[in-house]
Amino acid sequence: MKKHANSIDVARRAGVSQTTVSFVLNNRRDHAISPETRQRVLDAAKELRYRSNRLSHGIFRGRTGLIGVIIPPRPDDYYLKLLVGVSDECVRNGSRILLTYPSGSDSGTPDPLQALIEFRVDGVVYIWEEDESSDRVAWLQELVEKEVPCVIVDDRSHADIVDCFVSDDIAESRAAVTGLLKACHRDLAHLSAGNSVSTAADRRQGYIDAMVAAGVEDVTATIRGQSYLPDQGARAAQEILKMIPRPTAIFAANDILAAEMLKAAQRVGLNCPEDFALIGYGNTSIAKALDLTSVDQNPEEIGRQAVKRLIERMADRSLPPITRTMKSRLIERNSTAKSQADRASTELETTDAN
Amino acid sequence: MKKHANSIDVARRAGVSQTTVSFVLNNRRDHAISPETRQRVLDAAKELRYRSNRLSHGIFRGRTGLIGVIIPPRPDDYYLKLLVGVSDECVRNGSRILLTYPSGSDSGTPDPLQALIEFRVDGVVYIWEEDESSDRVAWLQELVEKEVPCVIVDDRSHADIVDCFVSDDIAESRAAVTGLLKACHRDLAHLSAGNSVSTAADRRQGYIDAMVAAGVEDVTATIRGQSYLPDQGARAAQEILKMIPRPTAIFAANDILAAEMLKAAQRVGLNCPEDFALIGYGNTSIAKALDLTSVDQNPEEIGRQAVKRLIERMADRSLPPITRTMKSRLIERNSTAKSQADRASTELETTDAN
DNA sequence: CTGAAAGCGCTTACAG
DNA sequence: CTGAAAGCGCTTACAG
């Protein structure tokens, strides 16, 4: 038995031509087909469990129904949610995801781009991350040259040539920190990831903006940390605990760093939210597990919107590149739950001297 | 300008036939090609930035280089790691991942299987999860019927028809619990997910085995919980805290449940590891964030091995189905760190009466 | 050592 | 209302 029936098999069985089969199965209006013929074809297809071969279809139509996704290999559930959003919107468009991880030319493995181009993907969702190698930029250029529609997620440094989707990290960080200030916190600190990635830099900037707006001097003295890596974060967290006066509220650049902050604090007998408020970023499963207030970037929606734009671009390649800054929002949990009234009264007492 | 050069373009440029181009580019030994011709073809290909069209290639060869992956849409980093392993091994084999999420026929969207078959994937990695709908089983049957090589991950209830890869949940749970018993814990409890999924049932079984082996009577009285859902887990955790005597060690069916256990305990002023030991499952980012001892299933390796087997099966479809139980291992962290000596001495005192 | 021709499974003008 | 034929970009016997 042949593995798959083809359109000729269906045609033979229905007693019609391959052409007719194609018209019926693709619902072509061009040439009307008599209802009986139509039904015969449909029956034959069902009997033979016929499934159109999308490779052949793709070759001819010049549209494969494959969307390439380049995704960082890091186990962060942000990416998993992003993928779900991307897939959702792809399926709605009759497409499917060809998933690839970046792996440099150095590693001896073929780069993801080669695969994406060889499979003639209709478009690419490029999820950016910090990376020393310059391969990424070269890949991007090849995509642009080959005129493969492309949208970048999580970076906007190439906004001049492709569509970019980023979160409103600066604004949302500023808002979160402003919230801490409004809740009468005086001594804040930021557990940062430095400039390792644009998201880290943006979150740091938001923190600085809010602090400056509140009239705080020498803001940078309240910032520690250069990387998202847990070990480095743990060290920076310890430094924060040694600040004088000790911060009563800490804004971390992501949930992993917030978790390190919490661990470091517990080790010296400090608890959250009793002794300090803490805000993380990403609203990952870690935030839920720790009952941690965190910024949710709504990655599913980012994924959906990115694909939506990609599809627009596939239809009209001449569209000018746009950058969209997606709205995040703060999810409040126990780590910032110490009642404002409590603190306000304490503050009043201690500020009586003023 | 044409979007992609094809093999005819290359042939023309190199002044040879399409056949020769094909032979050179596929490194065929059948017909030796003169070094000069060879070089001319290679040069022409490079100049035109030629990338073979894998769709055409796939049609003819009957091998597309596409591996279908069906994955649950849940944001658990276990899946992300599994995917990395799967991709790794695929790339090593010159294949790429076609990623799909299950979404029932009810939802109006085409089922993933249709896509996988239409794209003529060479094989399928089917990552199982609990699901009320019977679609999954129907899909599996269609795969088997169409003779699409398939391996299931995380379930072994179809071991008679396809290859299955599961973790050694029973054994590893038993070992973890035995470890708690050896550390002189007397009053244990299990925060379970009931029989909602086979993994949950297996972990529960491992707990029971260890307890029975230690001579504990009425083990089921020390088990609470029916689901991996956080809310239900939180309730079950509260029940565990009300047990008399209060457990000094708790084995949770996964990290999310362990986190709920921790939150519930903290709410009543109990701390880990001072007041009780806690073990989770999955070694997710949650375990790292909480400094939680947890069982690592090594999902990357599971993914790699599953694909390895799939490739064997692609080469020889008559292989009998096998089930492989992959080795996990306990990662010890702070949640079980209370020194054994401490407890041992306490235990000796309190058990003097015996 | 190299090429002309047939074919993979599909779609699409075109003709009847 | 329907079909024969050419074509998408590739590979593979086969012939020279």
Distance B114 CA to D13 C1' (A): 34
pTM: 0.90
pLDDT in tens, A257-267: 999 999 999 98
Q: Find, in chain B, the residue whose alpha carbon is nearest to that of A143.
A: B3
Q: Could you give the percent of chain A with pLDDT greater than 70?
A: 92
Which residue's CA shows the smallest distance to C1' of D5?
Answer: A19
CB pair distance less than 8 Å for A4 and B92: no
d(CA B257, CA B85): 26
Residue B130: pLDDT band with limits 50, 70, 90: confident
Distance B259 CA to D3 C1' (A): 68
Tell me how far CA of residue A97 lies from CA of A299, B114, B155, in angstroms: 17, 14, 24
CA distance A25 to chain B (A): 13
Contact list, B97 vs chain A (CB under 8 Å) = 98-100
Distance B124 CA to D14 C1' (A): 37
Residue A352: pLDDT band with limits 50, 70, 90: very low
pLDDT in tens, A209-242: 999 999 999 999 999 999 999 999 999 999 999 9
CB pair distance less than 8 Å for A119 and B80: no
Contact list, A82 vs chain B (CB under 8 Å) = none
Sheet holding B96-100, edge to edge: A323-326, A163-167, A150-153, A123-127, A66-70, A96-100, B96-100, B66-70, B123-127, B150-153, B163-167, B323-326
Cβ of A8 near strand D (distance < 7 A): no
Range A114-137 average pLDDT: 86
Range B193-212 average pLDDT: 93
d(CA A254, CA A248): 18
β B277-281/B323-326 pair status: unpaired
CB pair distance less than 8 Å for B55 and A119: yes
Instruction: Give the number of beta-carbon pairs within 8 Å between A and B.
Output: 160
pLDDT in tens, A169-217: 999 999 999 999 999 898 999 999 998 788 899 999 999 999 999 999 9
Q: Find, in chain B, the residue whose alpha carbon is nearest to that of A92.
A: B109
Residue-level pLDDT at A2: 55
pLDDT in tens, B77-89: 999 999 999 999 9
The closest CB to that of A230, out of B59, B83, B288, belongs to B288
Cβ of A208 near strand D (distance < 7 A): no
Contact list, B76 vs chain A (CB under 8 Å) = 77, 80, 285
A74 contact partners, CB below 8 Å, separation of at least 6? A129, B80
- What is the 3-class SS of chain A, one letter each residue? CCCCCCHHHHHHHHCCCHHHHHHHHCCCCCCCCCHHHHHHHHHHHHHCCCCCCHHHHHHHHCCCCEEEEECCCCCCHHHHHHHHHHHHHHHHCCCEEEEECCCCHHHCCCCHHHHHHHCCCCEEEEECCCCCCCHHHHHHHHHHHCCCCEEEECCCCCCCCCEEEEECHHHHHHHHHHHHHHCCCCCEEEECECCCCHHHHHHHHHHHHHHHHCCCCCHHHHEECECCCHHHHHHHHHHHHCCCCCCCEEEECCHHHHHHHHHHHHHCCCCCCCCCEEEEECCCHHHHHHCCEEEECCHHHHHHHHHHHHHHHHHCCCCCCCEEEECCEEECCHHHCCCHHHHHHHHHHHCCCC
Residue-level pLDDT at A342: 57
CB pair distance less than 8 Å for A109 and B87: no
Lowest mean pLDDT among A132-141, A302-311, B163-172: A132-141
Mean pLDDT of chain B: 89
Residue-level pLDDT at A23: 87
Range B337-348 average pLDDT: 56
Cβ of A32 near strand D (distance < 7 A): yes
Please say if the pLDDT value at position A351 is more than 80: no
CB pair distance less than 8 Å for A76 and B80: yes
CB pair distance less than 8 Å for A77 and B147: no
Residue-level pLDDT at A191: 98
β A150-153/A188-191 pair status: unpaired
pLDDT in tens, A3-51: 788 888 898 888 888 888 888 888 776 667 788 888 888 888 888 889 8
Cβ of A266 near strand D (distance < 7 A): no
Q: Could you give the percent of chain A with pLDDT greater than 90?
A: 63
Instruction: Measuring from the CA of residue B11 to each C1' atom, give the nucleotide at the shortest distance.
Output: C3
Nucleotides in C strand less than 7 A from protein CB: 1-5, 7-15
CA distance A171 to chain B (A): 26
Please say if the pLDDT value at position B105 is more than 90: no
Test the B interface: residue of A46, A49, A57, A80 with most B CBs within 10 Å: A80
